[in-house]
Amino acid sequence: MKNLEEIKEKSNYCLNCPVKPCLNKGCPLGNDIPSFIKAIKEEDYRKSYEILSETTVLQPICGRICPHTKQCEGSCVRGIKSNPVSIGELEAFVGDIAIKEKYTISEPNTANKDKKIAVVGGGPSGLTASAFLLKKGYSVTLYEKYNYLGGLLVHGIPEFRLPKTIVKETVQKIIDLGLEVKYGVELGRNISLQELEKQYDAIFLSFGANITTKMGVEGEELDGVYGGNQLLENQSHPDYTNKKVAIIGGGNVAMDCARTIKRMGAKEVKVIYRRAEEQMPAEVKEIKEAKEEGIEFLFQNNIVRILGNTKVEKVELIKTELVQKEGETRKVPINIPNSNYIIDIDYIVMALGSMPEQFVQVLGLDLNKWGYIQIDEKNRTSKPKIFAGGDIAGAKSTVAWAARSGRDAANSIIEYLENKKGC
132-170 pLDDT, tens per residue? 999 999 999 999 999 999 999 999 899 999 999 999 999
**DSSP labels, 183-219:** ET--BTTTB-HHHHHHH-SEEEE-----EEPP---BT
- Quote the pLDDT of residue 213: 86
With the C-alpha atoms ordered 99, 104, 110, 111, is the resulting torsion angle positive or negative?
A: negative
- Amino acid letter for position 333: P
CA angle 54/59/60 to nearest 5° reads: 160
Phi and psi for 91 in degrees, rounded to 5? -65, -45
Nearest residue to 402 via CA among 232, 210, 220, 176: 210
> Which residues have CB under 8 Å from 84's CB, separation 6+?
69, 73, 74, 76, 78
Query: CA 124 → CA 11, 88, 102, 208, 390, distances in Å?
Result: 27, 17, 21, 10, 8
Query: CA 5 → CA 40, 88, 90, distances in Å?
Result: 11, 17, 12
- Whether 4-100 and 214-353 share one fold: the answer is no
Task: Identify the residue with better confidence: 162 or 212.
Answer: 162
Among left, alpha and beta (phi > 0; psi -120 to 50; other), residue 323 is beta
Nearest residue to 13 via CA among 33, 37, 47: 37
Cα separation, 140 vs 79, whole angstroms: 42
Pairing of strands 354-355, 180-183: unpaired
Arithmetic mean of pLDDT, 112-133: 97
Arithmetic mean of pLDDT, 288-294: 96
- Quote the pLDDT of residue 29: 95
Q: Using pLDDT thresholds of 50, 70 and 90, give the confidence band for residue 19.
A: confident
pLDDT at residue 422 tops 80: no
Cα separation, 364 vs 101, whole angstroms: 46
pTM for the full predicted model: 0.92
Query: CA 97 → CA 26, 87, 93, distances in Å?
Result: 24, 16, 6
Going from N- to C-terminal start, the domains of the chain cover 4-100, 112-209+356-422, 214-353
- Quote the pLDDT of residue 256: 95
Give me the torsion for CA of 308, 309, 310, 311, rounded to 10°: -30
pLDDT at residue 64 tops 90: yes
- Quote the pLDDT of residue 17: 87
> What are 65-75's pLDDT values in tens digits?
998 988 999 99
> What are 299-321's pLDDT values in tens digits?
999 999 999 999 999 999 999 99
pLDDT at residue 1 tops 60: no
pLDDT at residue 330 tops 90: no
> Does 3.40.50.300 match the CATH number of domain 112-209+356-422?
no
Task: Identify the residue with better confidence: 325 or 237.
Answer: 237
Q: 128 and 406 in contact (C-beta within 8 Å)?
A: yes
Q: 373 and 205 in contact (C-beta within 8 Å)?
A: yes
Cα separation, 315 vs 342, whole angstroms: 6
Q: Using pLDDT thresholds of 50, 70 and 90, give the confidence band for residue 208.
A: confident
- Quote the pLDDT of residue 2: 61
Q: 403 and 174 in contact (C-beta within 8 Å)?
A: no
> What are 377-397's pLDDT values in tens digits?
999 999 999 999 999 998 777
Arithmetic mean of pLDDT, 398-406: 94
How far separated are the first and last CA of the chain, in Å rounded?
51
- Amino acid letter for position 14: C
Q: Domain 214-353 carries which CATH code?
A: 3.50.50.60
Mean pLDDT over each residue of the chain, to the nearest integer: 94
Q: Which of 77-91, 303-317, 321-335 has the lowest mean pLDDT?
A: 321-335
> What are 93-109's pLDDT values in tens digits?
999 999 999 999 998 89
Q: 369 and 266 in contact (C-beta within 8 Å)?
A: no
Q: Domain 4-100 carries which CATH code?
A: 1.10.1060.10
- Quote the pLDDT of residue 423: 57
- Quote the pLDDT of residue 160: 92
Nearest residue to 353 via CA among 272, 281, 263, 245: 281
Give CA 75 to chain center in angstroms. Answer: 20
